[in-house]
Structure 1
Amino acid sequence: MKSWPVQDAKARFSELLDTCLTEGPQLVTKRGQEAAVLVPVRDWQRLQQAVRPTLKELLLADRPRHDIAVPPRGRLRRRRPSDLD
């Protein structure tokens, strides 16, 4: 993975983007420290899919994850057959 100082990345963004699309992810540094990575969108989408939990994982989790509100288990009162009439 090629490293680009932020000044070069800003000045040569088109080249940075073309290199990313042809060679893969590109590292951008700021003051000598790793700051960001530019990746092709297909790689980003693949990474996002990999971290997305499955429905099964969400339902079996001890507590809700992400922004999905799941009520706690076992605290809801069940209806008796006589309540259904």
Structure 2
Amino acid sequence: MSSWQVQEAKQRFSEVVRRAVAEGPQVVTRHGEEVAVVMDIAEYHRLRGETPDFAQFLLADPDWDDDIELPRNKDLPRELDFG
């Protein structure tokens, strides 16, 4: 984790955000004391438990567009010569 003084973080906020997304949480300090963390929003949601796992996603019945009917080729598969 990188550490930024408040004044530097204010001046270079775009870089702090870019590095939070690319490298992970960025710690902001005031007078040498850690006071805040800038982190990627996906990590924040994961830590808060707001991101459903795959099973929850499937159980939530996502819109699969079930009303679409795809035409099927009813011909038998072609014969292959393996010899």
TM-score range, shorter chain: 0.5 to 0.7
SS in 1 for 2:10: helix
Residue 3 of structure 1: how far off its partner (Å): 0.2
Q: Which has the larger radius of gyration?
A: 2
Deviant stretches of 4+, over 2 Å: none
Q: Quick one: distance in 1 between partners of 2:46 and 2:9?
A: 25
Q: How does 1:50-65 map to 2 (within 5 A)?
A: none
Larger fraction in helix: 1
Q: How does 1:1-85 map to 2 (within 5 A)?
A: 1-49=1-49
Residue 36 of structure 1: how far off its partner (Å): 0.5
Equivalences, count: 50
Q: Quick one: distance in 2 between partners of 1:21 and 1:47?
A: 15
Taking only the aligned residue pairs, the percentage that are identical comes to: 46
Q: Quick one: distance in 1 between partners of 2:49 and 2:17?
A: 23
Alignment TM-score, normalising by the size of structure 1: 0.57
Amino acid at match of 1:25: P
Deviations 1:24-50 (A, max 9, x none): 100000111000011100000001107
